Structures are given as structure tokens and as C-alpha cells.
Chains A and B, each alone.
Chain A
């Protein structure tokens, strides 16, 4: 089976001499839910831009479902749906017209386009807004409109470039469910996001890109298993002095009644409780300092974890 996406030695040098991609390799299997993560300016959008034909590559290979994005661009585009980071639809057109028009660009008959548009707008809770000019929609609705537009031709591969940016938590979770259903139905999804919890919840495989280079490409489970430490915050019943140190652990007093403790390989939360009990500290509550993936991500882009 051909991979959904294949990138080899992909380079991009912009006109001002900035090398956005330094020869990256990447492969995404069909049916995968794949996260491409990286800090701002790392090269995520450039990579996705090359795949969907909006950015001209400088060197290397980029294929979608076995079709080269340059020599067989029509084949590649037929297989691909794109939800870009920025709103890129006509602000004066009606919601329904935007989706039906996009279907026409892919050669769909008017009847099929209208039926598919109705299905997608209903699925994405936009059907009531179908006759409104797109500029009247809220930010979350605009994002969902771009998803409907990207899916109208039933693509095998869907690229989502920060699809839930600016979307409230409730709506974000309903969009996650929608994406999971799409993926379960066989659509390969490539996701970039700054919400690392989102990537952890949804994606099976992950690549982390930084300064134009892939610094890690592996399974989500494998990556999380590489964590050699995790930081927890313990809220205490009574205050401790600012120079308090928990015996046997790397710790830091965050506030008089709050202690940050790093739990490394070979240590457990039970050990922390035992040490706290020994120090006569009662724990009111505890929580991870940050999302697990977030810690790894920061470590990797700062050149830490290996």
C-alpha cells in the first residue's frame, strides 16, 4: 500500500534566503492520525504548503497517495483536503455557496455538491447558517466552514493546520469527536496544533519539527514512554518554609503551601507520599505540572531528550 504522504529530502529556501526546511524525511501511512508538531516558524506550515501546492519546494520529493505534488499535481490534489491556519474564503459569499463552489472545482456535479454540502454543514452544525455571508460567522464557525469545504470532495488525506485555534473547549471536544469519526471511516489525518493535549488525545504517530529539521518521528505511545521524568505539583494542608527540600527528590517550593516535585525513572508517586509523610506534610491535592507531551516537546525542541 502506498503511503498517504511521503516526503524525502524536502528543502525550502525562501526568496530572502531563509531555509525553512533543511531536507526533511517523513512518511505517513494510510489511515493514520498523525501529529506534526513544532514551535512557531519551525517549518510545519511550509511542509503542509508544499504538499497542497501553495508553496514551491526547492528540492526533494513530496508525494500524496503516491502522486508527486509537482509532476502529478492533479492526482495529489484530488486525494487531499486542506484546512489552512488562516481563514481563506471569500468573506462576502454565503456559507453554502463557498462549499458548493469548492465541490465544483473538484468536478462534482451540482446535485452531488449540494447533497454533500448539506451533509457536511449539518454534521458540523452550520446548516442554520448556510444562507449567511461567511464574514458574519464566529471564529469557531469559520474554522468548521473550512473543514466542511476541505471535506466536500471526500479526500483520502486531510491536512488540518491548527483547526481548533480560537475554538472554545466544548466545541473543540465536539470537533475532536468529528475528526475521530472521520479517521475511523478511513481518512488519513495530519494535524498540526499548539494544543498538545489535542495531539496526545487524537494522534497515533507524531513527528516533531524544529528549525526546519525533524527532531523526532515515532509513535505517540513510544514517545511518551521515553519520558524519564515527570513533574507534579502537590498542594499542602500546611505551609512550609521557602527553603524546604523533600528528601530524595528534586523539589521546589512554589508557594508556601505548594510544592513542585520531579519524579524520575525508578521513583513513584508513592515514594513522594512516603517522603512527604515522613516530613510531616499532609497533601490536599496533586496535579501534573503540565501535559506530559508538553514536557517532552519543550525538552526536544530545546535539544534535551534523546
Chain B
């Protein structure tokens, strides 16, 4: 058996294991985001939305749906890899991988694929729920798929790095609580940055999540606060940087090898 064949089987094994993990605990992984997003649809879309009126030429419910779907994808991709990899470290079961002939790139790809799978699964659930409240017409399928996958990959990498550096369970909730959640809420999920004073529009443009949310919104509604090409370029650069750093951590065995 060649090394490439070993890596391919190992990759499939990690992905199956990761998917099995979040499916086994579906009540913790798939149900809570569905409930939270349904509440957002009811409160912001149905109750408050009609009083707000249109935004970017569409009704408020239609405006927030893409942002809420993307928010689900991002937070679940991140959370899946952060909790799964840290749990592997905590229980020392990461040693199963360390003593096997599995390349660091295969390990990373397996965990990231697991994160993407959960992000997309939750995104689909939220999308299906949103259809109860509004209708969705996808303007650019390719952009929708591309931005979802790239955002999920990017935040899975972030979750992985967080898990490698984490020493206790608290450490994997600090970044989501203090960085990802504020950036997501300020990333144009609920409003267009056109509503902000000019200097705050400039500050908002430093927020990478703004680009993901708006590019996804563009793919669905055809309206956006930012350029699509810039958004894809930014995501590509972030993926390359975080991916290279993650590989470096695995090669060094940071937090895993003494």
C-alpha cells in the first residue's frame, strides 16, 4: 500500500469519525442553533422586521436570513473543530493519530472537513427553517456554495488553532465569546453598514466576517455592502495563513508531543 493510499484511507476515517461524533450528540450540535435561529426569525423578522421596513431594497426578514445562515455556519464550523480536537487532546486520544503514519496535512484536512460538514449541516437546517418565514431565490449558486465552504474552512482552521493552544475547556470558549460573537453581530448580519456614520463604516470594513456575510447575501439576494472579489481574496489569504500555521503546530506537536 502506498503512502498516498494510506493518507486517503486515514482522511476518510477521520472525517467519518468527526461526522459520527456530531451526529451522536445531535441534541447538543444540531438542535440548539436551529432553535436560536428560529427565535431570531420570529423576533427580528416577524415581529420587529415589518416596523423596520426595507433594507437594500428587500424586506427585513429576507435581509437577515442570509446573515443568520452564515452566522450558523461560522460558529458551528469553529465550535466543532475546537471542541472535538481539544477533547481528543484532553482524553489523550490524539495519541492514536500521533502513533499512526498519518501526515499532519491529513489530520488537519480531516478535522477541517468535519467542521465544514457540521457548518454546512447546520446551515442547511437553518435554511430549511427560514423557508417557513420567507422565500429564498438564489441569485448565484456558485458564490453561495463557494463562500459557505470557504468560510467554514476558515473558521474550522481557527477552531483548530484555538484547540491546539487551549489548556482547559474554558480556553475554547474565550475566542468565540469575546471575538467571534461580537464580530459576527457587528458584521452586517442585522443591518447594512450604509446605516453607520462614515468613520464606523470604515471600521466595519476591517471586520472579516462582514465580507463573508455580505458575499453570501449577494449570492442569495444580489445585494452587498462589499465587493465579492475582495471578499474571496481575503478568505483565500486567511485560509492559507491559518492553514500553514496549523500544519506548523502539528509538525511541532505543540500541545501533543513532549
Do the two shown chains form a genuine complex with each other?
A: yes
Cβ contact of B258, chosen from A14, A86, A91, A108, cutoff 8 A: A14
Whether A116 is near chain B, meaning CB under 8 Å from some CB there, is no
Most buried by B among A14, A52, A107, A149: A107
B10 contacts A53, C-beta separation under 8 Å: no
A91 contacts B91, C-beta separation under 8 Å: yes
Give chain A residues whose Cβ lies under 8 Å from the Cβ of B199.
none
Closest Cβ neighbor of B20 among chain A residues: A97
A105 contacts B92, C-beta separation under 8 Å: no
* Binding stretch for chain A, among B70-78, B97-105, B140-148, B174-182: B97-105
A88 contacts B257, C-beta separation under 8 Å: no
Known: A53-B257, A106-B6. A89 touches B91 (CB 8 A): yes
Main SS class of interface, B: helix
Closest Cβ neighbor of A51 among chain B residues: B99
Known: A74-B101, A78-B101, A97-B20. A102 touches B96 (CB 8 A): yes
Nearest CB on A from B87, distance (A): 8
Count, A-B residue pairs, CB within 8 A: 80
A49 contacts B20, C-beta separation under 8 Å: no
Whether B135 is near chain A, meaning CB under 8 Å from some CB there, is no
Give chain B residues whose Cβ lies under 8 Å from the Cβ of A105.
10, 13-14, 96-97, 100-102
Known: A102-B100, A104-B13, A105-B100. A88 touches B258 (CB 8 A): no
A157 to B87, CA, bound (A): 29
From 59 to 113 in chain B, residues with beta carbon under 8 angstroms from any chain A beta carbon are 87-88, 91-93, 95-102
Whether A55 is near chain B, meaning CB under 8 Å from some CB there, is yes
Main SS class of interface, A: loop
Give chain A residues whose Cβ lies under 8 Å from the Cβ of B100.
77, 102, 105-106
Cβ contact of A90, chosen from B12, B91, B102, B253, cutoff 8 A: B91
Closest Cβ neighbor of B100 among chain A residues: A105
Q: How many residues on the A side are at the interface (Cβ–Cβ under 8 A)?
A: 32
A77 to B3, CA, bound (A): 12
A101 contacts B13, C-beta separation under 8 Å: yes
Known: A73-B101, A74-B3. A54 touches B257 (CB 8 A): yes
B98 contacts A53, C-beta separation under 8 Å: yes
A106 to B13, CA, bound (A): 10
Whether A84 is near chain B, meaning CB under 8 Å from some CB there, is yes
Closest Cβ neighbor of A106 among chain B residues: B100
Whether A120 is near chain B, meaning CB under 8 Å from some CB there, is no
Binding site for B on A (CB under 8 A): 14, 49, 52-56, 73-75, 77-78, 80, 82, 84, 86-92, 97, 101-102, 104-109, 149
Q: List 30 A-B contacts (CB under 8 A).
A: A52-B99, A53-B99, A55-B258, A56-B257, A56-B258, A77-B100, A77-B101, A82-B99, A88-B93, A88-B95, A90-B93, A92-B24, A101-B13, A104-B9, A104-B12, A104-B13, A104-B14, A105-B13, A105-B14, A105-B96, A105-B97, A105-B100, A105-B102, A106-B6, A106-B10, A106-B100, A106-B101, A107-B5, A107-B6, A107-B101
Q: Could you list 15 further interchain pairs (A-B, Cβ under 8 angstroms) beyond the known A86-B92, A101-B17, A107-B10?
A: A14-B258, A56-B257, A56-B258, A77-B100, A77-B101, A84-B95, A88-B93, A92-B24, A101-B96, A104-B16, A105-B96, A105-B101, A107-B1, A107-B101, A108-B9
